[in-house]
Amino acid sequence: MARTYTAAEVADEATCPEERVHWMTSIGLLTPDENGRFTFGAVLSVKMAIALLATSVPAESIERAAAEGLLKFQRTDEYLPYQPGPLSSRTFAEFQASAGPRARLLPAIFEVLGLPKPDPNAPIHADEEALFERFLEAWAMAPDEDALIRAARLMAAGTRAATGGWMDLQDEQVAEPARERLLRGELEEFPDDVRVGFTKVTRLAPDMFLWLSARYLEQRSVSGIVEGFERYLATRGLAPIPEPPSPPAIVFVDLSGFTRLTRERGDESAVVAATSLQRHADAVATRLGGRLVKLLGDGAMLRLADAAVGVEAAFDLVSTMSSEGAPSPHAGVHSGPVIERDLDVFGQTVNLASRIADVAGPGEVLASEAVVEAAGKVIFGFERIQDARLQGFPDPIPLYRVVRAGP
């Protein structure tokens, strides 16, 4: 049976005065059961009303809209995939004191996760205490305390990107068309079938995230265990010593004339081009065993296993974008040592790949001498062009244009 809440408990969850809950009940925006209790959806309703008041909508306007049936908070429970359990019997400060020395990092971890820092004198939910106890225990063997902050930052960045993008997409595809019709006066109220569809997409997101993250963890676990076991067997003379890995390749692909495209064809055309670059860059990197490191507005940065694969990725991506009529795609490739931290990549190899891309012409892929020496000429050829002086590098850099080898 679903838990219900008193008005005071709703106010605690929504961090507002209890009078706000009573006010919303009096104007019909909240409906208690026969015992005067509320479902957790009331908390979401109160938060939405508080947000409306914060936008300078006066309380009198909310009361009038509620009276005329223009504002309703119905079925809010259906929008909430997660409902927290009861509040802890102890304050957050007491929880910290019991959770070990690294629990002092929890306020910073909350902040990195994008959540308000807990009030030391107020409780958090008991299930949240259990979750953070597991978090502290799971990372207990990490010698560097900063690892906990980094772990939280990684989880926050991935979750925020996935959920934010998911919600933006469902708003664009499901809710916005109906909302526009409502604002134009073509509808009397928000269509129930759209609300149901919106709810289905909202509630699907956590399940999809859990399933897909489990699949990714499985893939990484298998590859990591196999690699470690192979190296261990080699140290015991039971397997060949693995070849040292080749230095990775960094690829920058940019779209020239992005500002002009926006000016001449409008923002929507620029969005289409940037979205296409993201989709193709992610697909090419995944197909070739690399990854899309980041998007840079009108560009993308990829990390590939070695020089040959990096050249293939750059050439394929520039060719694909050119065939779609993208504004002057071009790329730069360099291979060498990098520093990888929290899914980002740093170092001189990255800087040089970026500078090479800057001097590539429309439809052109340029590579460094290190790439040419490591990649070979089985699939691609390399034409020496004039050495280039690149920002941040004191000496001229030898460059090569990548061309498709063979007939």
Summarize pLDDT for 10-37 with one digit per residue, the tens: 999 898 999 999 999 999 999 999 999 9
Helices (H), 102-191: 106-112, 126-138, 146-170, 176-183
Provide the token pair at 135.
Answer: 């978090």
Cα torsion angle, 114, 116, 120, 122, sign: negative
Confidence of residue 143 (pLDDT cuts 50, 70, 90): very high
The predicted structure's pLDDT at residue 370:
95
Q: Give residue 259's pLDDT band: very low, low, confident or very high (50, 70, 90).
A: low
Tell me what pLDDT residue 188 has.
Answer: 83
Over range 293-316, report the average pLDDT.
Answer: 93
Residue with tokens 């068309």: 177
Between 165 and 83, residue with greater pLDDT: 165
φ, ψ of residue 306 in degrees (nearest 5): -155, 180
Task: Kindly indicate the confidence band of residue 247, based on its pLDDT and cuts at 50, 70 and 90.
Answer: very high
Token digits of residue 387: 């050495």
What's the pTM?
0.78
Q: Tell me the backbone φ, ψ of residue 278, rounded to 5 degrees.
A: -60, -45
Domain 249-404 homologous superfamily, CATH? Nucleotide cyclase, GGDEF domain (3.30.70.1230)
pLDDT at 293: 95
Q: Looking at the DSSP assignment, which residues form a beta bridge with residue 345?
A: 340
What integer pLDDT is reported at residue 125 of this predicted model? 93
